[in-house]
Amino acid sequence: MGRDNRTLSRRQLALGAAATGLGLGCHRHERPPSRLVLPRPRPPEPSTVAEPRPSPVIELRMDDFAVGDDHMEQWVQRRAEAVAAFLGGFPVDRVDLRLNARWGSRVGFGHVYIQAGEPNLRINIGRDITAAKLDADWVLVHELLHFAIPMLADEHRWLDEGTATYLEPLIRARMGNVDERYVWDQFIWGMEKGRPRPGDRGLDATPTWGRTYWGGALFSLVADVRICAETKGRHSLQDAWQAIARESGGRVVRWPIERLWAVGDRATGTQVLSKLHHDWAHTPRDVDLDALWAEMGVIRDGDDLVDLDDQAPRAWIRQALTRPSMQPVERAPVIERTA
Ligand SMILES: [Zn+2]
């Protein structure tokens, strides 16, 4: 389930470490709506419910790593909490997580699967991984996000991978792990790869790497911007995924994609998701990325981010997507370490 097979790029080396302070200009001509994309508390449970739902559990088994067990556990905990914060709760009740030691010092491939109805995640990690490399890692957040997405028909794999690819840097920005510039630098690099190439037959019928990971991410970005714009900031793609994760119970069920759109559209009070999929499913729709970046104030030079312009007409959407969350984490997973 690797998003790409790059080793750390120069950009990641420069930006991957935890960053604080956005260092941006602060003059906005349009006041961003204050409610935008902050995780909203769930409605209280009816008082007739006698037993509260138990906390989700991550059953963690791991080999020996140079940084030590406690550090590895904290790394898992913090990222799982960030995913739970974004989704309004960790999406499944239980995950069997196994961290396998391999030769080397990097985070390798992750693999999500369901076995006997139980969600499993395996990640291969170099035994000599450093704290800094763990901190700069994107794999774990990406893989945990797959648990929020019901199992879908094969032709919709782009939605599964694209959603995880798109949301991962946003969540890492909100948890303070990367800064806003990192997110848009990644998106400049990646979204271009998600555009249709000659011979493309639409997202549902073009299972290439670029269209699966970044085509799906481009779908998510365009949908998110449309939802924010149509609702004047009252809703975002986050509301859709919170509702989908909550109503489906996540990866443990198989859903037709129409059901997913019905729940997502209802949560945002729009028809953005169903309409966009209808439009993109079997037609190679291109996206004018120059125009998209310009309206969001993302200034680039080729593949590189140059600056973020807070005066751009939709800079308020761009800023809201990565704004850190101040909400307490609901249904944070409890880690149970087993030998
Ligand atoms: Zn994946």
Tokens of 265: 């559209």
Q: Any residues with CB less than 8 A from the CB of 255 and at least 6 apart, and which? A: 150, 151, 152, 248
Residue 3 belongs to some domain of the structure: no
Q: How confident is the model at residue 46 (pLDDT cuts 50, 70, 90)?
A: low
The predicted-structure confidence for 85-125, as pLDDT tens digits, reads as follows 999 999 999 999 999 999 999 999 999 999 999 999 999 99
Residue 186 belongs to some domain of the structure: yes
pLDDT over 60 at 153, yes or no? yes
Q: Any residues with CB less than 8 A from the CB of 88 and at least 6 apart, and which? A: 39, 40, 42, 242, 245, 246, 330, 331
Query: Residue 48 has what pLDDT?
Result: 57
Ligand 1 midpoint to CA 34 (Å): 32
**How many Å apart are CA 168 and CA 293, to the nearest integer?**
19
pLDDT over 90 at 215, yes or no? yes
Ligand 1 midpoint to CA 165 (Å): 7
Kind and range of the H or E run holding 259: helix 257-268
Ligand 1 midpoint to CA 324 (Å): 24
**How many Å apart are CA 280 and CA 286, to the nearest integer?**
9
Ligand 1 midpoint to CA 334 (Å): 23
Closest CA to 108 of 142, 85, 152: 142
Ligand 1 midpoint to CA 220 (Å): 15
The distance from CA 304 to its chain's CA centroid, rounded to whole angstroms, is 22
- The structural domain count of the chain equals 1
Ligand 1 midpoint to CA 204 (Å): 17
Residue 46 belongs to some domain of the structure: no
Ligand 1 midpoint to CA 162 (Å): 8
Kind and range of the H or E run holding 100: strand 94-102
Residue 258 belongs to some domain of the structure: yes
pLDDT over 60 at 152, yes or no? yes
**How many Å apart are CA 135 and CA 176, to the nearest integer?**
11
Residue 24 belongs to some domain of the structure: yes
What residues make up the domain containing 78?
Answer: 12-41+55-338
Percent of the chain clearing pLDDT 70 (strictly above): 85
| CATH number assigned to the domain comprising residue 226 | 1.10.390.10
Residue 1 belongs to some domain of the structure: no
Ligand 1 midpoint to CA 212 (Å): 10
The predicted-structure confidence for 163-172, as pLDDT tens digits, reads as follows 999 999 999 9
pLDDT average, residue stretch 214-241: 97
The predicted-structure confidence for 13-38, as pLDDT tens digits, reads as follows 333 333 322 222 333 333 444 444 44
Query: Residue 6 has what pLDDT?
Result: 43
Ligand 1 midpoint to CA 32 (Å): 32
Ligand 1 midpoint to CA 164 (Å): 6
